[in-house]
Amino acid sequence: MEIKGKTAIITGATGGLTEAIVLSLAKAGANCICIYYKNSPQAKKLHRKLKTKSIFIQADLTVPENIEKIFAGIRKFPTPQILINAAAVFEKKPIGNIDYEYIKQTFDINFAVAMLMTQKFVEFVRRKIKSKQNPIGKIINIADITAQKPPAGFSVYCASKAALIAATKSLAKELAPDFTVNAVAPGIIHWPKNIAAAQKKKILSHIPAGREGSPQEVAQAVKFLIENDYITGQVINIDGGRSL
């Protein structure tokens, strides 16, 4: 699918990684519908950088009615054909510290929101686009290599991303040939706050590439999956070989 002139919906748009994806799509000529939760200053800053038609919508996507409102309010844009599910929360919590509310919140944002956004996106695109040329839509989920190689202390987060990967593969079969559904699984892109130098060195020793990745390298993979129409149900690890 050619990106130029297409409309993309991006959730979690003000995140450090997602910002690079938004900028990459806009540079390629996409109109961007950017959804974010709280970071209005960053949303305004990013909006000023975009040269294509774009809109930023502040919304709590864990409220299903807000998802309905988003799709009802974007009728002035060309019908979106690209969905990037990037909204996520990331927190380390050992088993002794987790509670029901934490599990629910993590799965709501990291998994349920992506599923509900995908559901409405598919309904919207199928209703608006009658083209017989497939695919008519692209769905890309932002996963994490920890779903495949979980570290200690992140059981709930890793499980939520593993669920997203499983859904990616199932949806690729269910929605074909109208939609391709893929995921990218970044490794170390941004270091956790207050990480010790010794811990960072230890982690890097397990990465064949010997370094952390960049948001731009993840954005390049997202762009590749949009442009290639014969890839679906796949997870691209962008981790410098850490998952080997």
Identify whether 177 is preceded by a cis peptide bond (ω within 30 of 0): yes
CA R_g for the chain: 18
Q: Yes or no: say if 177 and 124 are a contact pair by the CB < 8 Å rule.
A: no
Question: Catalytic: 157?
Answer: yes
**H helix or E strand, kind and range, residue 23:** helix 16-27
Q: Which of 37, 102, 157, 230 is catalytic?
A: 157
Dihedral sign from CA coordinates of 139, 224, 236, 43: negative
Residue of 159, 201, 185, 194 whose CA lies nearest to 239: 185
Q: Yes or no: say if 184 and 221 are a contact pair by the CB < 8 Å rule.
A: yes
Q: Yes or no: say if 19 and 54 are a contact pair by the CB < 8 Å rule.
A: no
Widest CA span in the chain: 56
Q: Which residues of 164-202 are buried (b: 16+ CB within 10 A; e: fewer)?
A: bbebbbebbeebeeebbbbbbbbbbbeeeeeeeeeeeee
Structure tokens given for 111: 């998994």
Residue positions annotated with a catalytic role: 157
